[in-house]
A and B are shown apart, each in its own frame.
Chain A
């Protein structure tokens, strides 16, 4: 049986690892802290300011993880051309995350799926809650609200034959108070590909709350205290004790 995934998500600003809070850099730490034998996947996101994407510093970060982790590596942040994607895949990355580019120029994402296969392309959806409880979708690292209706845009993205969708809550990012279950329940049934969720995971029970949902394939954590072998093992032990089917290897 396919296992539910616990995914480590790392954000980099100019090649330096940061934790974010509500999409702004919160505090920095060193990537040597990361010891991820029991992680199921690693996501590397470049949050460097616009126009400075795919600098040598971030490409070096990707190389570091490819050479040191025998784990699936997913990369995102500012990928806006076939050339960008080729550069990243050529480093040994399995999957890339698209976001703003799909909104601005869907043909790129369509072409990427043709070249690299749909299972190699993830679409991230960054959502923000309005005061009335409805949700809007943001692009450009949370700076721009898209000019399309939320459900309609989700349907559109699904129609591109994308491999997975990463649902991200801007409000809960870095807050460690749990995932936005309302958001997840509201939109996950409208998506027919595997769904990953991000934003708010603080303790093991938060992961249980989302991984027990049938529609959710994986949960991402950005919490520095989860980036050790001991904490990942204890997370997985906890999830197994709650009958969540996760990979636990000694």
Chain B
């Protein structure tokens, strides 16, 4: 059973629609009891990291998620859920992440690129490392992005996908049972659904 973590912000119904489309069973998790029923987590989120973080704290599930993921429960972070995997984010303040992956999240502005911010639209993801979630997905497949923040100082061994937007942005990471993507697979049509399917059906920690 997939546990979609109810962050109270953004794209949860879209993630649920995508899971329905690939015939996967799921529950929405907003308490410790819900988390106990799930064998894998998807952590979605659209909005600002501040709201996202405060919502998870309010539900008292931050540490509960952390413990379970440390104990091998697979997790896929999407967009803000991807940002949450790192050490911290400085979107409207300075907030802790789960610290599952080395690196911190900062405004793309700080990279001093010439491109307009936010990075919004379809961009091709260069696959740096073949992993389960990229099974049956071509290199340089287009995915849908919408974000102003990006992780930096990410360890090379964790980077599985990048895009070019003035500079190389890290958009997909992997560390053991942990996956994260900056783009929205639930909004990236066939190839996005394939990525979710790969995580749901094929990944075993």
Residues of A within 8 A of B (CB): 1-5, 37, 40-41, 66-67, 70-73, 89-92, 94-95, 113-120, 163-164, 192-194, 217-218, 247, 249
A71 close to B123 (CB less than 8 A): no
Q: How close is B167's CB to chain A, nearest CB, in angstroms?
A: 12
B143 — nearest CB in chain A belongs to which residue?
Answer: A247
Contact in complex: A118, B188 (CB < 8 Å): no
Q: Mark B76-94, 1 if CB is under 8 A from A, else 0.
A: 0000000000000001100
Most buried by A among B15, B115, B148: B148
Shortest B94–chain A CB gap in Å is 15
Q: How far is the CA of A87 from the CA of B202 in the complex (A)?
A: 35
In the bound complex, what is the Cα–Cα distance between A73 and B187 (angstroms)?
9
Is B191 located at the chain interface by the 8 A CB criterion?
yes
Q: If A1-B164, A163-B148, A193-B117 touch, does A116 touch B11 (CB 8 Å cutoff)?
A: no
A-B contact pairs, 24 of them (CB 8 A): A2-B165, A40-B144, A41-B144, A66-B13, A70-B17, A70-B186, A70-B190, A70-B192, A71-B189, A94-B10, A114-B50, A115-B47, A115-B48, A115-B51, A116-B48, A117-B46, A117-B47, A119-B119, A119-B120, A194-B116, A194-B121, A217-B116, A249-B142, A249-B191
Taken together as a complex, chains A and B put the C-alpha atoms of A218 and B144 apart, in Å, by 14
Residue pair B13, A90 in contact (C-beta under 8 Å): yes
Inter-chain pairs besides A1-B123, A71-B144, 15 sampled, C-beta below 8 Å: A2-B119, A3-B122, A3-B123, A41-B144, A70-B186, A70-B189, A91-B13, A92-B16, A116-B9, A116-B46, A117-B47, A118-B118, A119-B148, A120-B46, A194-B118
Given A116-B47, A117-B46, are A92 and B121 neighbors across the interface (CB < 8 Å)? Answer: no
CB neighbours (8 Å) of B144 from chain A are 40-41, 71-72
Interface size class of chain B, counting residues whose CB lies under 8 Å from the partner chain: 35 or more
Q: Mark B104-115, 1 if CB is under 8 A from A, else 0.
A: 000000000001
- What's the nearest-Cβ distance from chain B to residue A75, in Å? 13
Closest CB in chain A relative to B171 CB, distance in Å: 12
- Which residues of A sit under 8 angstroms from B40, Cβ to Cβ? none
Q: Which residues of B approach A to under 8 Å, CB–CB?
A: 9-18, 21, 46-51, 91-92, 115-124, 142, 144, 146-148, 163-165, 184, 186-193
Contact B17 A66 (CB under 8 A): yes
* Nearest 3 interchain pairs by C-beta: A92-B13, A119-B118, A92-B14
In the complex, what residue of chain B is closest to A1 when comparing beta carbons?
B164
Complex: A72 Cα to B143 Cα, angstroms: 11
* B17 CB contacts on chain A under 8 angstroms: 66-67, 70, 92
Minimum CB–CB distance from B117 to chain A (whole Å) comes to 7
A94–B18 Cα distance when bound, in Å, is 15
CB pair A72 B118 closer than 8 Å: no
From B12, B122, B163, contact of A247 by CB (8 A):
B122
A119 to B144, CA, bound (A): 13
Closest to B16 in A: A92
Contact partners of B189 in chain A: CB under 8 A: 37, 70-71, 249
Known contacts A3-B123, A95-B146; A163/B46 CB under 8 A: no
Question: Do A120 and B47 contact each other (CB < 8 Å), given the known contacts A2-B115, A70-B186?
Answer: yes
Q: Which B residues lie within 8 Å of A2 (CB)?
A: 115, 119, 121-123, 163, 165
Bound Cα distance A182, B152 (Å): 40
Q: Is the CB of A5 within 8 A of B148?
A: no
Residue of B nearest to A192 (CB): B116
Cβ–Cβ contact B118 & A5, under 8 A:
no
B182–chain A nearest beta-carbon distance, Å: 11
Whether the pair A117, B48 counts as a contact (CB closer than 8 A) is yes
Q: In the assembled complex, how far is the CB of residue B27 from the closest CB belonging to chain A, in whole angstroms?
A: 17
Cβ B147 vs Cβ A3 within 8 A: no
Contact A40 B122 (CB under 8 A): yes
Q: How far is B192's CA from A92's CA once the two chains are assembled, in angstroms? A: 16
**Distance between B33 CB and nearest chain A CB, rounded to angstroms:** 22
User: In whole angstroms, how far apart are the Cα atoms of A130 and B116 in the complex?
Assistant: 30
**Chain B residues with CB under 8 A of A67:** 17
Q: Assess the B120–A163 pair: CB atoms within 8 A.
A: yes
Contacts of B115 in A (CB 8 A): 2
C-alpha spacing A247/B140, complex, angstroms: 11
Residue of B nearest to A37 (CB): B189
